[in-house]
Amino acid sequence: MDRQGRYTVITGASSGIGYATAKAFAKRKKNIILVARRDSNLNELKREILQENPDLDIVIKAVDISVSQNAHQLYRELNPYQIETWINNAGFGSYDSVYDQDLEKTETMLRLNVEALTIFSSLYVRDYRDVDGTQLINVSSAGGYTIVPMAVTYCATKFFVSAFTEGLAHELKAANAKLQAKVLAPAATKTEFGKVANNTSEYDYDKNFRAYHTGDEMANFLLQLYDSNMTVGRVDREAFEYKLSEPLFDYAGNSKNNQKSN
């Protein structure tokens, strides 16, 4: 195993955007650490990657990172690897009113979308803030910039992802850090998201959305963000166009009303 080489970590790699992103990075000859719950899906993805790129090192970590202890343990297990890029893609949605939402599902969504992402981001920043060429890419949503009806709690989790990552990007730049923090915000994407969010075994994207992207298209957008010096890659929900930009939220970096530093 070539642990002297550099690796890209992708959470939520067993399907959808994560699956496609792993293949996209493999085409760039990147060693990859695949993280998700479904071992069989990860092994199939590893097999597909190695068919085309047999010289790569593809590492599988089948773990439920919605459990915080598992997230910490996974990060410790990855200490021997030199991680060039960390992509927090794992997450899921839930379509329901706050009144009717399943709290057990909601609690798991909060742990995965918010807690696990924060744990990994914080630990990665501590270890790689001053390492050349490193990137942290957190996958948010167009719903992390716009509140969508019947998805209020999901959007709130993604507002956290967007605000946290944009704020971290400001923080890193102010510290002249070498690590870059970026946020990808997809709109409707044809993945397993629709099934999980709606608690159904079948979901028709053609029927339910005027427009949507594929996982491969979103992986390409992620690579565009990766190659750029921009902080945000966002799909506009109305125009359905993808744009790269600087941070979008107001930032009180120079406010006279900030707490005074010691």
The string of pLDDT tens digits covering residues 152-185 is 999 999 999 999 999 999 999 999 999 999 999 9
DSSP H helices, 82-214, are: 103-110, 117-128, 152-174, 193-198, 205-208
Both structure tokens of 210: 């005027």
The closest of 222, 179, 225 to 84, measured between CA atoms, is: 179
Percent of the chain surpassing pLDDT 90? 94
Query: What's the Rg (C-alpha) of the chain?
Result: 18
Percent of the chain surpassing pLDDT 70? 98
Residue pair 29/50 in contact by the 8 Å Cβ criterion: no
Cα dihedral 142→147→150→155 (10° resolution): 60
Give the predicted TM-score (pTM) of the model.
0.95
Q: Is the pLDDT of residue 262 over 80?
A: no
Both structure tokens of 165: 């990552």
Largest CA distance in the chain: 58
* pLDDT value of position 104: 97
Query: Mean of the per-residue pLDDT values for the chain?
Result: 96
Look up residue 253 and give its DSSP letter. T
Confidence of residue 5 (pLDDT cuts 50, 70, 90): confident
Residue pair 49/56 in contact by the 8 Å Cβ criterion: yes
Q: Is the pLDDT of residue 126 over 50?
A: yes
Task: For the domain made up of 6-245, give the CATH fold.
Answer: Rossmann fold (3.40.50)
For residue 165, which amino acid is it?
T
Residue pair 178/134 in contact by the 8 Å Cβ criterion: yes
CA distance 244 to 235: 9
Q: Is the pLDDT of residue 206 over 50?
A: yes
If 0-12 CB within 10 Å is exposed, 13-18 middle and 19+ buried, where does residue 213 land? buried
Question: How many beta carbons lie within 10 A of that of residue 195, not counting itself?
Answer: 13
Token match 């070498």: residue? 178
In the chain, what are the domain boundaries? 6-245
Residue pair 61/83 in contact by the 8 Å Cβ criterion: no
